[in-house]
């Protein structure tokens, strides 16, 4: 369980698992953007949609766990709390947009061999256009926010001596 001085094992495992998966997602998106039609892009991009769905599931589990531990968690302050809220919102919105795009295209969607929805005869252009307009933009914005999140964890130690990173590494 979480406690005022640090996060418990469940919170830490979810955090670091999601960090690794997000790093993979950012790498796959960057390889698609900057190294198209290469073996590197093929290697990373092949898992992008399935891992996106896994991240959506994990962020929902993590959010539920955070709510269940609400009064027990370390105090993060108003700005950090707002930052965490925005991170969660983005981690929900981005894969949701991808799912809407997949549904809108009408091709069906499977992840990890499990059919999420079946193919349909008609495309829903509005869903595809909405997701195309926002998924990538929000993804790169999330990367900037994650870099800010990491930076602030290190800056707190230097600026005011608070060991906020230790909360998520040692509990």
Dist. CA 147–CA 11, nearest whole Å: 20
pLDDT of residue 14: 98
- Residue 90, in any domain of the structure: yes
Dist. CA 82–CA 147, nearest whole Å: 16
CATH number of the CATH domain containing 44: 1.20.950.20
- Residue 62, in any domain of the structure: yes
**pLDDT tens digits for 39-96?**
999 999 999 999 999 999 999 999 999 999 988 988 888 998 999 999 999 999 999 9
Contact of 66 with 74, CB cutoff 8 Å:
no
pLDDT tier for residue 5 given thresholds of 50, 70 and 90: confident
Dist. CA 57–CA 43, nearest whole Å: 23
Number of domains observed in the structure of the chain:
1
pLDDT of residue 163: 79
The phi and psi torsions of 161 (rounded to 5 degrees) equal 75, 0
The region that residue 143 occupies, defined by phi over 0 for left and psi between -120 and 50 for alpha, beta otherwise, is alpha
- Residue 1, in any domain of the structure: no
What DSSP designation does 47 have?
T
The reported pTM is 0.92
- Residue 36, in any domain of the structure: yes
Strands 109-111 and 114-117: antiparallel
Q: Residue 168: how many CA atoms within 13 Å on its side-chain side?
A: 16
Which residue range(s) make up the domain with 152? 9-169
Is residue 161's pLDDT more than 80?
A: no
- Residue 4, in any domain of the structure: no
* Weakest mean pLDDT among 89-93, 106-110, 134-138: 106-110
Residue 170, exposed/middle/buried by CB under 10 A (0-12, 13-18, 19+)? exposed
- Residue 2, in any domain of the structure: no
- Residue 32, in any domain of the structure: yes
Q: Which residue has the higher pLDDT, 89 or 154?
A: 89
Residue 115 bridge partners (DSSP): 110
């Amino acid at each position: 369980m979480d406690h005022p001085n640090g996060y418990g094992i469940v919170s830490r495992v979810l955090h670091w698992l999601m960090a690794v998966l997000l790093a993979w997602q950012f790498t796959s998106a960057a390889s698609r953007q900057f190294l198209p039609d290469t073996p590197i892009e093929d290697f990373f991009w092949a898992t992008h949609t399935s891992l996106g769905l896994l991240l959506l599931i994990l962020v929902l589990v993590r959010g539920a766990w955070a709510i269940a531990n609400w009064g027990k968690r370390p105090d993060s302050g108003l700005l950090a709390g707002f930052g965490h809220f925005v991170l969660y919102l983005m981690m929900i919105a981005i894969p949701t947009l991808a799912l809407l795009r997949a549904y809108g295209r009408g091709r069906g969607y499977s992840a990890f061999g499990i059919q999420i929805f079946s193919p349909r005869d008609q495309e829903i252009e509005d869903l595809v256009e909405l997701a195309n307009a926002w998924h990538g933009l929000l993804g790169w914005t999330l990367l900037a926010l994650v870099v800010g999140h990491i930076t602030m964890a290190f800056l707190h130690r230097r600026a005011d001596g608070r060991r906020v990173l230790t909360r998520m590494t040692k509990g």
